[in-house]
Amino acid sequence: MTRLRNYFLTGFVVAAPLAITAYLVWGFIRWVDSWVKPYIPARYNPDSYLPFAVPGFGLIVAVVLITLIGFLTANFIGRSIVSFGEHILDRMPFVRSVYKTLKNILETVLQERSDTFKKVGLIEYPRKGVWSLVFIATEARGELQSSVGGAGNPLMAVFLPTTPNPTSGFLLYVPKSDVIELEMSIEDGAKLIISAGLISPEYQQQKTKVLAEEALEQKSRRKRSGNEEASLGK
């Protein structure tokens, strides 16, 4: 019975990730097909003359169309059409705000030269002595930086995800000196959050502990230095 149980657990560990991955991929393909296929003319849709549905055909059409749109937008005529469309959207109050917000988010996330959400860090949250994993976005600019941030200590925009769903969380602005940057990759950070701390590279775990101890030591040194200066001033 012990061997059978071990065989079952081993098979489950191997089969479960494959089954879940296949289920998610298949669900995504069917979701895209359900959106794209109704707009494909019947004579170009293989489902209309084949005895079975062709899965993924809508996804292929969507990828080709998006690539074609990007190609057309790259030239002068395409940019002129896009500018004209954006000029029309600017006259629509609610639609204008939604469009500009989504466009700025996608441009920031998909920009290859951007370091947005490419670094993982630690901050003390929700109280001193408790550390939370965050994804570092960018440095604060404009009114936020001028109102709160100092010249030598800029504010950092960080995203604090929730466990086990990293797509929801909190946007926090913290001083750069309070953010400990880690060598951990975004993928490892996401695994750590989704698994509630169960999956973590051993080296990265030790590195995080060392960095946290160094940060606490630096803060205690600054505190002692401030107390000494205060006593000397008296």
The predicted-structure confidence for 57-69, as pLDDT tens digits, reads as follows: 898 999 999 888 8
| 228 alpha-carbon distance from chain centroid | 43
CB 127 within 8 A of CB 181: no
For position 26, what pLDDT does the model report?
92
pLDDT at residue 214, rounded to an integer: 75
Residue whose token pair is 């393909």: 29
Per-residue tokens: 192: 């750590």
Beta bridge mates, 131: 124
Whole-angstrom Cα distance, residue 72 to residue 83? 13
Rounded CA gap, 154 and 173, in Å? Answer: 10
pLDDT range class, residue 134, cuts 50, 70, 90: very high
Please tell me whether the overall predicted TM-score, pTM, comes out greater than 0.75 for this model: no
The confidence score (pLDDT) of residue 25 equals 92
Instruction: Kindly indicate the confidence band of residue 84, based on its pLDDT and cuts at 50, 70 and 90.
Output: confident
218-230 pLDDT per residue, tens: 777 777 766 666 6
Q: Inform me whether the pLDDT recorded for 80 exceeds 60.
A: yes
pLDDT at 14: 86
Q: Quick one: CA dihedral 199, 201, 205, 208, positive or negative?
A: negative
If pLDDT is split at 50, 70 and 90, which confidence band does 98 have? Answer: confident
Q: What is the mean pLDDT of the chain?
A: 80
| Average of per-residue pLDDT across 1-26 | 88
Q: In the chain, what are the domain boundaries? A: 2-110, 119-233
